[in-house]
Structure 1
Amino acid sequence: MKAWTPSQILIWVVALFGITLTGVPASADDWDVCRNAAARMEQQHNMPKGMMTSIALVESGRRSPTGDVKSWPWTINADGRAYYFATRNGAVDAVRRLMADGVRTIDIGCMQVNLRFHPRAFTSVEEAFDPMSNVAYAAYFLRDLETRSESWDQAIGRYHSFSPALNARYSARVQAVWGKERETARANPSQHPSPVEALSAEHAGLRLSSYSDELQRYSDDFTEASVIPGPITWTETASLSR
């Protein structure tokens, strides 16, 4: 196991005690932003209802004050270590410290988008943590995977990895969460309303053309996924030695 740097120790302490480097307390509203963004993107892209919200739960789910598991927008995973922060500012500060320490494999936000393998997905770390921008990019990525897969189930697995063993296990985990979500929705329909109206392409932070360009770059330059921890990971075909 890699030794922890001083910055990583500080980040772990900050995340553990639910504080941020700016001392701002967490907001109760933050518990719903990932679900709301995922529901909107499901409708925007005509995706199966509950699919994106279930993936978000697998990627960034944590126990809420009410006892149930919800996706948390200020989540990061660095070199296989997960951290949950009280605020967006705290998470942004942590990512910058990790980058300064030379850490490159960092998954962030509701959908845990990997910054190393999707370096042009966002214009800044702040935008990457914007729940709608984070989920929107993941939705475009999933849609692109679906067009190159035999089913949504296969696309879900490939969101995590192209390795058959890894993507099958991941897809099964998402399907299990999705099944529980459907059961909960049937039992408590008022707590799981239908997705709200679709967002316009001009929504702040949704650089839709840029997302399309980024996905095209992956179609052109990358093929199979790597086994590096994280949902969006790819291996270059002939350029790993460059």
Structure 2
Amino acid sequence: MPHRTISGLLALALCVGQQALAIPNLRTADICDRAAQRAATSEGVPLEVLHAITRVETGRAIDGRLSPWPWAINVEGKGFWFKSEFEAKSYVFNIFKAGKRSFDIGCFQINYRWHGKAFRSIDAMFDPDENATYAARFLKDHYAELGSWTAAAGAYHSRTPHLAQTYSDRFQRVLAQLDYNETRAIASRYPFTGSASPLIPLRADQAPAGALRSLMPATGSASAFISFN
């Protein structure tokens, strides 16, 4: 893949003081469900499939419910939940600057190394709608090939049979536990407008300052996430 430059750098001087405000947890979690709703409609993928995938990828317990998280990053098997878009983008800026290219971004954890060329920029990969739409198209292609959404979910994660099977089993468990009335209500509660804001670097640290606590998603995802609260 050719070298791709992170967008938004020209605006850094204007944006250094503009930290993205941390939206209350449930409202932030709703961002992924609303993006999934729009992608399901535009791409013809069942909404419950996208709801399950985003929870398998980024699920965290919020008020007793398994909820997705848009500002999740996974770097070579180590994952992070950031409390805001600003912190997530800052972290990616730092690891990109340090030479990392294999990292997963956003609601559907799209990998930059393998899928970055499908987006205009890393900023675009962060945008929940673009992230969800790409995931929906990818799943739809696998469904056309394999004939079931469960198999498509496994292939979404890996083409290695045992890894795909483990993932599809997890997908089925999450799918079975979804309260569709609840998730549909969540998906229509809050609007999400506009694309993601430009990347803003903090420091060349490996992670922002703050207390960390290790959490394993209730779905038993392949890697634990670290929550920055």
TM-score w.r.t. the length of structure 2 is 0.69
Looking at structure 1, the residues matched to 171 and 70 of structure 2 have their Cα atoms a distance apart, in angstroms, of 18
- The reply to whether residue 192 of structure 1 matches residue 209 of structure 2 is no
Letter in 1 for 2:23: S
Looking at structure 1, the residues matched to 95 and 186 of structure 2 have their Cα atoms a distance apart, in angstroms, of 38
Alignment gaps of 5+ in structure 2: 1-16, 196-221, 224-229
Looking at structure 2, the residues matched to 158 and 204 of structure 1 have their Cα atoms a distance apart, in angstroms, of 31
Aligned to 1:61: 59
**Compared with structure 1, are the counterparts of its residues 38 and 191 closer, same or farther at alpha carbon in structure 2 (3 Å cutoff)?**
closer
Aligned to 2:22: 26
Does structure 1 conserve the Cα–Cα contact (< 8 Å) formed by 2:33 and 2:186? Answer: no
- The reply to whether residue 139 of structure 1 matches residue 136 of structure 2 is yes
Does structure 2 conserve the Cα–Cα contact (< 8 Å) formed by 1:60 and 1:112? Answer: yes
For residues 112-134 of structure 1, what are the alpha-carbon distances to aligned partners after superposition, in whole Å with 9 as ceiling and x for unaligned?
00000012122122211111111
For residues 148-167 of structure 1, what are the alpha-carbon distances to aligned partners after superposition, in whole Å with 9 as ceiling and x for unaligned?
22322211110000011000
Does structure 2 conserve the Cα–Cα contact (< 8 Å) formed by 1:60 and 1:72? Answer: yes
Aligned to 1:175: 172
Aligned to 2:214: none
Does structure 2 conserve the Cα–Cα contact (< 8 Å) formed by 1:75 and 1:85? Answer: yes
**Compared with structure 1, are the counterparts of its residues 157 and 22 closer, same or farther at alpha carbon in structure 2 (3 Å cutoff)?**
same
Looking at structure 2, the residues matched to 128 and 118 of structure 1 have their Cα atoms a distance apart, in angstroms, of 9
Q: CA deviation at 1:79?
A: 1.2
Which of structure 1's runs of 4+ aligned residues deviate more than 4 A? 21-25
Alignment gaps of 5+ in structure 1: 1-20, 197-202, 206-228, 231-242
Does structure 2 conserve the Cα–Cα contact (< 8 Å) formed by 1:79 and 1:103? Answer: no
Partner of 2:80, secondary structure, is: strand
Q: CA deviation at 1:204?
A: 6.9
Letter in 1 for 2:97: A
- The reply to whether residue 104 of structure 1 matches residue 101 of structure 2 is yes
Q: CA deviation at 1:85?
A: 1.0
Does structure 1 conserve the Cα–Cα contact (< 8 Å) formed by 2:72 and 2:105? Answer: yes
- The reply to whether residue 127 of structure 1 matches residue 124 of structure 2 is yes
Letter in 2 for 1:116: R
Q: CA deviation at 1:24?
A: 4.7
Aligned to 1:38: 36
Residue-pair matches, total: 175
Aligned to 2:10: none
Higher relative contact order (CA 8 A, sep 6+): 2
Looking at structure 2, the residues matched to 192 and 30 of structure 1 have their Cα atoms a distance apart, in angstroms, of 16
Aligned to 2:83: 86
Does structure 2 conserve the Cα–Cα contact (< 8 Å) formed by 1:37 and 1:131? Answer: yes
Aligned to 1:153: 150
Looking at structure 1, the residues matched to 18 and 100 of structure 2 have their Cα atoms a distance apart, in angstroms, of 22
Does structure 1 conserve the Cα–Cα contact (< 8 Å) formed by 2:150 and 2:171? Answer: no
Report percent identity of matched pairs: 34
Aligned to 1:52: 50
